[in-house]
Amino acid sequence: MVEHDIWTVKAALDWTVGYLGRKGDENPRLSAEWLLGEACGLRRIELYTGLERPLSLKERDTLRGYVSRRGRGEPLQYITGEVAFRHVAVKVRPGVLIPRPETEVLVSEALSLLPAVGRPRALDSRMTEAEAEELLAARAAQDAAEADRPAAEPSAAFSDVPGPRASSASSDDSGPVAAPLFVADLCTGSGCIACSIAYEHPRTRVIATDIAPEAVALARENVDALGLSDRVRVVQCDLGQGVPASAMGRLDLVVSNPPYVPTSVLSDIPREVADFEPALALDGGADGLDVLRRLLPWCARALKPGGAFAFELHEGHLDEAAALARAAGFADVRVARDLAGRPRVLTGRRASVQAIVA
């Protein structure tokens, strides 16, 4: 297209599809829709219902920049700077692993290991003004009541993670006064796991760790942007080294998406992953289980009796991983499959007090 041409949505879409196809994009139409929609602030359906809509000069310049980056193989998520993950949207940028659908399965498995809780009713655009005001007033009253209750044990576990205090007197897991649940998310990356668990399970208090400063900075941004800073704390450290000593033996859940790609497999991963995503977050050693071998003994010390873990791992080594977990003394060890039907998530529990005594 020459400079004086009018760029309609259709013309821009056709040009982008052709250009990316020539550059080797595996799905040029999907990429084109994503980039054009982002450049113009349009949803996919709006692209096709407004094919004759002209692009502004600013939109054209933005699209050119996006397409140039995509033509060099840069992942779409880094270009747009955001990705949907379960019920939230998180920021992403180069230097930090992009959240993937498989990891949504990891969060599902992790949440299933915690006592169930219903999410508080959310504000909805279909509510009347009176209904919205009633909901906000009820939330404010509940927050005020919780603030007056004594702190729950083990409050010392994450004493530097502020948050609503809850009473330990209630045994009702689904009630608003039930004690908090303490979770460690190791190798947090963008923070998508920690944020999702805190968002979907209001009783959780999460400490998220990562060794990479780029990941720690991004995870903190996502925690703040999602309004979860009262229940999620992000620290820079190697695996669980930054978890407070007072938390050891008291955690309800440890979850991790560690580096797990076997070294020999790294040469076969897609170019846009190998060239743009951090190798530190991918390489799991010869069999992909190097980090798991460090996680299991740490979990044995950090989890309370009956506490659980959930780890995302490479599909080719889940049987070996399960054997390692059983050998380390964990109970209820099982393997869950991802959305493509491949073995992907390892879960297990620290033996209960009764089992240890027996």
Give the residue extent of every domain in the chain.
9-73, 94-357
Residue 327 has pLDDT above 80, yes or no: yes
72-86: burial string, b at 16+ Cβ within 10 Å, e else: ebbbbbbbbeebebb
pLDDT per residue over 105-157, tens digit each? Answer: 999 999 999 987 654 444 444 455 555 565 555 555 545 544 444 433 433 44
Confidence of residue 243 (pLDDT cuts 50, 70, 90): very high
Among 63, 53, 60, 61, which residue's Cα sits nearest to residue 20? 63
Q: Would you say 257 is a known binding-site residue? A: yes
| pLDDT tens by residue, 82-116 | 999 999 999 999 989 999 989 999 999 999 999 87
- What single string gives the DSSP state of each residue in 124-160? -TTS-HHHHHHHHHHHHHHHHHHHTSPPPTTTTTTTT
Residue of 283, 276, 103 lying closest to 185 (CA atoms) = 103
Structure tokens at 243: 């978890």
Q: Which two tokens stand for residue 167?
A: 């009473």
Contacts of 148 (CB under 8 A, 6+ apart): none
Vertex 346, ends 299 and 114: CA angle to 5°? 65
Selected from 1.10.150.80, 3.40.50.150, 3.40.50.720, 2.60.40.420, the CATH number assigned to the domain covering 94-357 reads 3.40.50.150
DSSP state of 281: G
Q: Is 180 annotated as a binding residue?
A: no
CA distances from 163 to 200, 315, 349 (A): 16, 37, 27
Residue 48 is labelled as binding a ligand: no
Classify strands 331-337 and 343-349 as parallel, antiparallel or unpaired: antiparallel
Confidence of residue 4 (pLDDT cuts 50, 70, 90): low
pLDDT band, very low/low/confident/very high, at 277 (cuts 50, 70, 90): confident
27 in a known ligand binding site: no
Q: Give the model confidence (pLDDT) of 5-29 as tens digits.
A: 788 999 999 999 999 999 988 899 9
pTM: 0.79
Instruction: Say if residues 183 and 252 touch (Cβ distance below 8 Å).
Output: yes
